[in-house]
A and B are shown apart, each in its own frame.
Chain A
Amino acid sequence: AGKEPTTSGEGRERQANPAALGLVPRADPVDSGSHFAPLLGLTDPGFSDCPDLKMSRVTTALGGSVLTGRTMHCHLDAPANAISVCRDAAQVVVAGRSIFKIYAIEEEQFVEKLNLRVGRKPSLNLSCADVVWHQMDENLLATAATNGVVVTWNLGRPSRNKQDQLFTEHKRTVNKVCFHPTEAHVLLSGSQDGFMKCFDLRRKDSVSTFSGEATEAGQDGKPWEWVMTGWVPVLPVLSCCVLRLHPSFAHGRMQDAECGANGACEDTLCGCSLGPLCVTPFHSQSESVRDVQFSIRDYFTFASTFENGNVQLWDIRRPDRCERMFTAHNGPVFCCDWHPEDRGWLATGGRDKMVKVWDMTTHRAKEMHCVQTIASVARVKWRPECRHHLATCSMMVDHNIYVWDVRRPFVPAAMFEEHRDVTTGIAWRHPHDPSFLLSGSKDSSLCQHLFRDASQPVERANPEGLCYGLFGDLAFAAKESLVAAESGRKPYTGDRRHPIFFKRKLDPAEPFAGLASSALSVFETEPGGGAMRWFVDTAERYALAGRPLAELCDHNAKVARELGRNQVAQTWTMLRTIYCSPGLLPTANLSHSVGKGGSCGLQLMNSFNLKDMAPGLGSETRLDRSKGDARSDTVLLDSSATLITNEDNEETEGSDVPADYLLGDVEGEDDELYLLDPEHTHPEEPECVLPQEAFPLRHEIVDTPPGPEHLQDKADSPHVSGSEADVASLAPVDSSFSLLSVSHALYDSRLPPDFFSVLVRDMLHFYAEQGDVQMAVSVLIVLGERVRKDIDEQTQEHWYTSYIDLLQRFRLWNVSNEVVKLSTSRAVSCLNQASTTLHVNCSHCKRPMSSRGWVCDRCHRCASMCAVCHHVVKGLFVWCQGCSHGGHLQHIMKWLEGSSHCPAGCGHLCEYS
């Protein structure tokens, strides 16, 4: 039955398991629709490992009874510290500082059954840090009190006070008590004082004491006698083993040894002292014990966890030393739990927010799984019947209970969010039923959680991941279903620069084959397709400031064209046309005669076009030229069209159509036309060595802002608005008119900059969205105030930062710095204001130059002398990193043309790169 459901539907699965467990399938309307089934075990390989064996045992354990219930909670009177479930799965005990009650778990609610906290004056013995219910005996409970007392309770006592025995051997708070899973009378406790004690409930004091200080080997020369506080072999089984395995530990001998060591034997039972306390070793920085747990599968073994991060494994028969010790966590280990099925699996949880699963069967404890939670782990409990599931709750900050699949350590399989304060105790209701979880919390409530009501963070998780590799590879992971749905499409068809390899790799270790299998796609860049060359060239060669706008545009257009990016080149040309018509020149120019300005602009325009004509394209010259002009027309017309519709209805028709046509035309024609002349590359102009260096530009930057402001002022003046009216009347002339006349008319009208701004803005956005943020930023810088106001600050900043990021990835530091300097965005321009201190050493005495200026105040010589001209270099100083001689950039360059030796005569073969 257990194997079958793996592929079946949810409903069937839910029914199949309870049936196998010997349960009556319950009618549960919510059930089938829930997302419970896959988590329960559909995808869990461990679940169907050995169904027959498991099922038979379960049947006996449950004894045919049925576990039913719903998610519910009840209010307690006080915060709970721990809870424990009776083996009949129908009662739960809640213990805390001021609460100690037994509740019956009924179908619909918790019912208080018994209050064990009796007596008028509540004693500290009742202030419980931990509670445990014996798994063999329904009447037996044990509590650990904060004052160090271990108390056992017998529910079978007829009186109101059920307190049975009191062990006051621990000196500090007892953190944990634990019954032996199969032995009826064996109780283990772990305390803050660093000791673990094993009690036999038929005796008044502990049987043996284990010290957390004990090292694995026990060979560090420390006296062990104080560890033994009186060995009396009461447990028949245990003592037999002791005698058989370790004859030297026979009772009599131990007694002798102890008595001899202490000389003070007063114990009535064995003649032994309770412990040689007076010789407590002074190295007793014994670490506090935080948890003790008997192994479920190994009769004699128990594990203990410590505040210093250690975990120890003990043999109950060997109190002198632990079997094994290892450091499990960084910081205290708050809890541990043995796996109910897998022998030797131990889960530990610590303050370092980790849950680790260890395999103890091997020679060295091996960490098998590690789950990273978001807060320190207070409790951990394996989920019954689910091999890889465990529940955790946290000690601080986080109030939820998580159920993890340890093979999937990043997202909890399920989450219970009922509590309003930290959860302090969790327990699975029945050792063979995986769907009921009980929990107690500091918020004074007791909860029963049903697994099917749990929320599943997986559902809310973002199932896609995207990452760029070092060499431009792109990896993309998504839910398989998502990818499968799109499998018909070829991924990434849009980008021609990244023709694609589609690689799919499925992790075989992925445990959730059905639930969360994901596909990983890797897109590789075309080998050798250094497709970004144009970017670097453009960035290096663009001029962004320092010259008149017209020149900048011309220059940039030329650069773009030489790199074969014609659309960009056209854009620059158009920008030049738009913004450099003399009418628009700021301030001083405005007073000049309009006519003259117009012709000027035209001349420039023409010469530009002619100059840029490819020589061998005679037949297309006209076309080309017209296109160039038409482009500018288009721009004008397009925007004017809107203007016209507002103001001049009658002439709308004529202007609209051609404008549209031209726009479409330009897009297609563009490439075709210019791709014809790949040889159309001018030899690169010899560039100045540091043309982009920002120093000389400083004045420009400072001076720029005032200019555009004037421009704006003028734009608002009535004079300009008058010209706007002109435009309205003139605009409708469409492309059928002679180009010259169009140009004339337009320039004469001196269109205001605002007129184009919408269009330019759209253009910038277009480029930015195309991925060419370089263009957007370059235009933004070149045009400065002319367009800045039309684009909101955030977008600008976004562009700037993206561009700067790109530049820096290509190591174009100079360019990026220039861009930073030229940007007007405050957030961007402060980028190069950080860590600007430059420490300079004197080139003679090699001591730091502490005072400002050019004279070293130690050797009283000028520090930065040019090795060629022997003058102080104030400005760009280039020096050899080998001999630290150098000088004016120009001088050194000149010098190195003739000689490869250092100009200072030091004999060093200098290298300047």
Chain B
Amino acid sequence: MAEGENEVRWDGLCSRDSTTRETALENIRQTILRKTEYLRSLKETPLRPSDRLSNIESSDGLNKLLAHLLMLSKRCPFKDVREKSEFILKILRVKQPVDMPPRRLVLSKQIVYEDAQMHALFADSFAALGRLDNITLVMVFHPQYLESFLKTQHYLLQMDGPLPLHYRHYIGIMAAARHQCSYLVNLHVNDFLHVGGDPKWLNGLENAPQKLQNLGELNKVLAHRPWLITKEHIEGLLKAEEHSWSLAELVHAVVLLTHYHSLASFTFGCGISPEIHCDGGHTFRPPSVSNYCICDITNGNHSVDEMHVNSAENVSVSDSFFEVEALMEKMRQLQECRDEEEASQEEMASRFEIEKRESMFVFSSDDEEVTPARDISRHFEDTSYGYKDFSRHGMHVPTFRVQDYCWEDHGYSLVNRLYPDVGQLIDEKFHIAYNLTYNTMAMHKDVDTSMLRRAIWNYIHCMFGIRYDDYDYGEINQLLDRSFKVYIKTVVCTPEKVTKRMYDSFWRQFKHSEKVHVNLLLIEARMQAELLYALRAITRYMT
């Protein structure tokens, strides 16, 4: 069988024209039929479908095809494609993947495409990428943010920019690998190869061009201890003779790195499962018992989920109900008392220090060592380099004062100057993330959550040693309880250690959408923190 004929072209499906999609699907159908015929003829003996499917592993190509088709049947925003691919699967008597492990509830749940805006977003995303990834599906809880997010990501990866396309994906891989985020790595390995990247590079950073290898150090520091970035780092990258980066390229790279670091946080923070068509994302076998549970984000099912959690942890519903009430009460108090009780300057200063110091004791008690999967660890070197607390760090690093270098005034201008339009996009994204609110808290409506959001945002910046002069860090202690802090800290600093238990144990009364909202805040705050350090170093280099 000629290889050329077996090539399946998926790009036709991304078209907005229904006839084009139909043609493309028909092509796919024929190819698959041909392939199965071929396989069947190879084996000669007719096999029972289940057998055949179990043996089909041998034919890697077909398996991939089917996986992709499965993804389409579930995910494609276009109804015709969904139906048709399901139909093809039925012909092949592939067992419907309803019986996938429950941990992947996100995937098995049919997405409802009623919301017009949501649908438009999905269609956009699908048309651009040819897939609808799980991140998008989770973020769609907040369509306003998602739109901005997708726009930015699309611009960073596909539009005009100083870096070649395969570099961009490779940098994405580098960044995600820093947090051992196999999900993102796999996603971008595919993309990387798709845009014509050299497969050799994937064997490890040492096989990539020297230029990218040079970026490794920045990647490492940026991911774990951004406050250590100095202008020497920048200088080292910009002045490396033939391997040197240009300023514009560097800014592009920095934006990509920070984007993927924070996206890795999101992936772990929300427990995004592997893509349906990637390894481990699907199964055609009956569900087996799987203990590898991260968490599920399903709006429809969350009540069931919650019950389960509650019963498991023996926390009464009323208990968690009081949590919300207590939080609300604290917010109210804070708002009222702020002007009455005036903390002295010294106290304010020390509060920041206290919060900073405390943040370092906040850590998950379980010290299970996560060993990275083989294929991911090869993308980064120096695995021992990880997050170290800002305050515990040996040498004295001065506090970063936002009033001296902030995103709105300084970072934006620099990014926009060197990588036009991106500053604007990121700025919008920050704004949306920071200001996003539905004025609800769990079961309460009409709540002003700005104080809470600000506390979360500033707490994350506090962990990175960034201080707001005009913020009373005592508020953080009032508003964020310990389990929540543990979660924040883990997601932001060592996302690979997030467990489902952590996810469940904070804010038990809150909806999943609200927890995703928190995650959005976390990742944007983290991205901004990293960007601020990196951009400040670049500014210092330039002056």
Name A's B-contacting residues (CB within 8 A). Answer: 79, 97, 121, 123-125, 127, 129, 145-148, 168-173, 192, 274-275, 277-278, 280-282, 284-285, 307, 331-332, 334, 351, 375-376, 378, 395-397, 399, 420-422, 443, 847-848, 850-852, 857-858
A147 x B469 contact (CB < 8 A): yes
A148 x B470 contact (CB < 8 A): yes
A192 x B470 contact (CB < 8 A): yes
A124 x B349 contact (CB < 8 A): yes
A100 to chain B, nearest CB (A): 15
- Please measure, in the bound complex, the distance between the C-alpha atom of A146 and the C-alpha atom of B468, giving whole angstroms: 8
Query: What residues of chain A lie closer than 8 Å to B119, measured between beta carbons?
Result: none
- Please measure, in the bound complex, the distance between the C-alpha atom of A852 and the C-alpha atom of B3, giving whole angstroms: 13
What residue in chain B is nearest A126 (Cβ atoms)? B345
What residue in chain A is nearest B439 (Cβ atoms)? A282
A852 x B470 contact (CB < 8 A): no
Query: What residues of chain B lie closer than 8 Å to A148, measured between beta carbons?
Result: 469-470
A397 x B470 contact (CB < 8 A): no
Tell whether A278 pairs with B403 under 8 Å between CB atoms, given A375-B413, A421-B543. Answer: no
Of the stretches B20-28, B367-375, B499-507, B520-528, the one at the interface is B20-28
Select one of B349, B403, B412, B542 contacting A146, CB under 8 A.
B403
- Please measure, in the bound complex, the distance between the C-alpha atom of A376 and the C-alpha atom of B408, giving whole angstroms: 11
Query: What residues of chain A lie closer than 8 Å to B19, measured between beta carbons?
Result: 847
Name B's A-contacting residues (CB within 8 A). Answer: 4-5, 9, 12, 19-20, 23, 26-27, 30, 332, 335-336, 338-339, 342, 345-346, 348-349, 401, 403-404, 408-410, 412-414, 417, 424, 427, 435, 437, 439, 446-450, 468-470, 539, 542-543
What residue in chain B is nearest A96 (Cβ atoms)? B404
Name 22 interchain pairs, CB-CB below 8 A, sorted by A: A146-B401, A168-B339, A168-B342, A173-B470, A277-B339, A278-B336, A281-B448, A282-B437, A282-B439, A282-B446, A284-B448, A285-B450, A334-B409, A351-B412, A375-B417, A396-B409, A396-B414, A420-B543, A847-B23, A848-B20, A857-B27, A858-B26
Tell whether A173 pairs with B403 under 8 Å between CB atoms, given A124-B345, A127-B469, A284-B448. Answer: yes
A277 x B413 contact (CB < 8 A): no
- Please measure, in the bound complex, the distance between the C-alpha atom of A148 and the C-alpha atom of B471, giving whole angstroms: 9
- Please measure, in the bound complex, the distance between the C-alpha atom of A282 and the C-alpha atom of B346, giving whole angstroms: 31
- Please measure, in the bound complex, the distance between the C-alpha atom of A907 and the C-alpha atom of B366, giving whole angstroms: 81
Select one of B439, B448, B543 contacting A399, CB under 8 A.
B543
B469 x A146 contact (CB < 8 A): yes
- Please measure, in the bound complex, the distance between the C-alpha atom of A125 and the C-alpha atom of B344, giving whole angstroms: 10
Main secondary structure of the interface of A (DSSP, over half): loop
- Please measure, in the bound complex, the distance between the C-alpha atom of A148 and the C-alpha atom of B403, giving whole angstroms: 11
Query: What residues of chain B lie closer than 8 Å to A282, measured between beta carbons?
Result: 437, 439, 446-450
A123 x B404 contact (CB < 8 A): no
What residue in chain A is nearest B469 (Cβ atoms)? A146
What residue in chain A is nearest B542 (Cβ atoms)? A397
Query: What residues of chain B lie closer than 8 Å to A145, measured between beta carbons?
Result: 469
Select one of B27, B30, B435, B470 contacting A147, CB under 8 A.
B470
Tell whether A146 pairs with B414 under 8 Å between CB atoms, given A123-B346, A277-B339, A278-B336. Answer: no
Query: What residues of chain B lie closer than 8 Å to A421, measured between beta carbons?
Result: 543
- Please measure, in the bound complex, the distance between the C-alpha atom of A147 and the C-alpha atom of B403, giving whole angstroms: 9
A395 x B413 contact (CB < 8 A): yes
- Please measure, in the bound complex, the distance between the C-alpha atom of A847 and the C-alpha atom of B25, giving whole angstroms: 12
Most buried by B among A168, A192, A351, A421: A351
A307 to chain B, nearest CB (A): 7
B408 x A307 contact (CB < 8 A): yes
A124 x B448 contact (CB < 8 A): no
B414 x A397 contact (CB < 8 A): yes
Select one of A124, A307, A331, A396 contacting B469, CB under 8 A.
A124
What residue in chain B is nearest A191 (Cβ atoms)? B470
A353 to chain B, nearest CB (A): 8
B345 x A125 contact (CB < 8 A): yes
Query: What residues of chain A lie closer than 8 Å to B12, measured between beta carbons?
Result: 848, 850
Select one of B4, B23, B413 contacting A396, CB under 8 A.
B413
- Please measure, in the bound complex, the distance between the C-alpha atom of A375 and the C-alpha atom of B409, giving whole angstroms: 11
What residue in chain B is nearest A266 (Cβ atoms)? B340
Q: A278-B332, A375-B417 are in contact. List 13 more A-B contacts (CB 8 A).
A: A79-B404, A97-B404, A124-B349, A146-B401, A147-B348, A147-B469, A148-B469, A169-B339, A278-B336, A282-B437, A331-B412, A397-B413, A857-B30
Q: Which 10 A-B pairs have the closest CB atoms?
A: A123-B345, A146-B469, A282-B448, A396-B413, A146-B403, A147-B469, A173-B470, A148-B470, A172-B470, A376-B413
A277 x B543 contact (CB < 8 A): no
A850 x B470 contact (CB < 8 A): no
A121 x B346 contact (CB < 8 A): yes
What residue in chain B is nearest A442 (Cβ atoms)? B543
Query: What residues of chain B lie closer than 8 Å to A127, measured between beta carbons?
Result: 403, 469
A850 x B9 contact (CB < 8 A): yes
What residue in chain A is nearest B337 (Cβ atoms)? A277
- Please measure, in the bound complex, the distance between the C-alpha atom of A625 and the C-alpha atom of B54, giving whole angstroms: 91
B26 to chain A, nearest CB (A): 7
- Please measure, in the bound complex, the distance between the C-alpha atom of A399 and the C-alpha atom of B542, giving whole angstroms: 11
Most buried by A among B339, B410, B446, B449: B339
- Please measure, in the bound complex, the distance between the C-alpha atom of A844 and the C-alpha atom of B427, giving whole angstroms: 51
Query: What residues of chain A lie closer than 8 Å to B435, measured between beta carbons?
Result: 285
B339 x A396 contact (CB < 8 A): no
A129 to chain B, nearest CB (A): 6
A850 x B27 contact (CB < 8 A): yes
Most buried by A among B26, B349, B448, B543: B543
Select one of B338, B410, B539, B542 contacting A171, CB under 8 A.
B338
- Please measure, in the bound complex, the distance between the C-alpha atom of A332 and the C-alpha atom of B427, giving whole angstroms: 11
B542 x A173 contact (CB < 8 A): no
Query: What residues of chain A lie closer than 8 Å to B448, measured between beta carbons?
Result: 280-282, 284
